[in-house]
Structure 1
């Protein structure tokens, strides 16, 4: 009877120590961290805008914005995401969508995501502030993207996660440049 009791006590201690070590690792080393979003370039690739005043008022054309963003994955788990769409808004109205292809981000690494967005001028022109922004030469946009996928930690732990990113983008027509500030969140 004494040998069984010692075996049970040792097994219980090993189990308790293992749980304490795993919980400690989770809350220190493996605690999920939001990825850093670093905007490498936001470029105005082309613009063709034509204002028609007679016989009716209309604005035609488009602007193509090239986006390259580096995602700095500070976690010990890789993230494989599915196809997604980035939504671009102008003063709260949806004016463009950009596809983001399925890909993966390795653990503790940086990964570039690039896409082109075609913004249609007639969608912009529907806003009352369009002409004042056009003549000032600056347009302010917001973009939002949510990537759904799976996190893989050491090929042992796999679970669903989503990463959302919101950006404020300011496009200058005169300088043909664009600046942006982005924030991101990851949810498990």
Structure 2
């Protein structure tokens, strides 16, 4: 029998491997329990680190008790009298505006205190600051009157020279004592200090070159 010339050989049967997903009832393998636990631990640690950073920032910014600023903002001269005859002398009143600048997130309550105004190294006036409070993130303004005179100066020659020059170099120093109360959580005592220098123009009856450290 002759072979059919048109007959073609049968193609070999291809075998395909079937994936696990093709079998009904077979599911993907679940992650091991240890791997899930380690991931949860990483998440917990990350949250703890973030919370710690937030608390650190909160403590360093909000709970930090800073020393308030304390200075003289303006000075006006009243009832000025001075002269070299029969003896060198002066007396006048300083009307000052004093400020307590509180940058804390809590009130600063300060006690009454007494400072000084000096001419050279001699105290010529007393600065009396009353009890007060500077609110959180605010500036408290105080009007303080200071009586100044030359009664305590014993060096008449130096005093006469200063009066003849027409200028008196003055220095005011006051130290406050008070407590910063932050959110009723933390109370810290602070001691803001004012140290200001100024020049009194006797002829013009004005204060010049007011600067505070």
**TM-score interval for Structure 1 and Structure 2 normalised by the shorter chain:** 0.7 to 0.9
The CA distance in 2 between the partners of 1:109 and 1:135, in whole Å, is 43
In structure 1, the partner of 2:212 is 182
Distance 1:43 1:125, change over 3 A: farther
Corresponding residue to 2:110 among 56, 64, 81: 81
Give the aligned CA root-mean-square deviation in angstroms.
2.9
Corresponding residue to 1:106 among 135, 142, 151: 135
* Conserved 8 A contact 2:65-2:180: no
Q: CA deviation at 1:60?
A: 4.8
In structure 1, the partner of 2:60 is 27
Distance 1:167 1:38, change over 3 A: closer
Q: TM-score, length-normalised on structure 2?
A: 0.68
* Conserved 8 A contact 2:106-2:135: yes
Distance 1:113 1:162, change over 3 A: same
The CA distance in 1 between the partners of 2:57 and 2:157, in whole Å, is 55
| Structure exhibiting the larger radius of gyration computed from Cα positions | 2
**2:99 matched to 1:66?**
no
Q: Cα deviation per residue 1:88-147 (whole Å; 9 max; x = unaligned)?
A: 111112121121100000011121122111111222463642222211211111111111
How many residues are aligned here? Answer: 171
SS state of the match for residue 123, structure 1? coil
The CA distance in 1 between the partners of 2:53 and 2:127, in whole Å, is 45
Structure 2 gap segments, 5+ residues each: 1-39
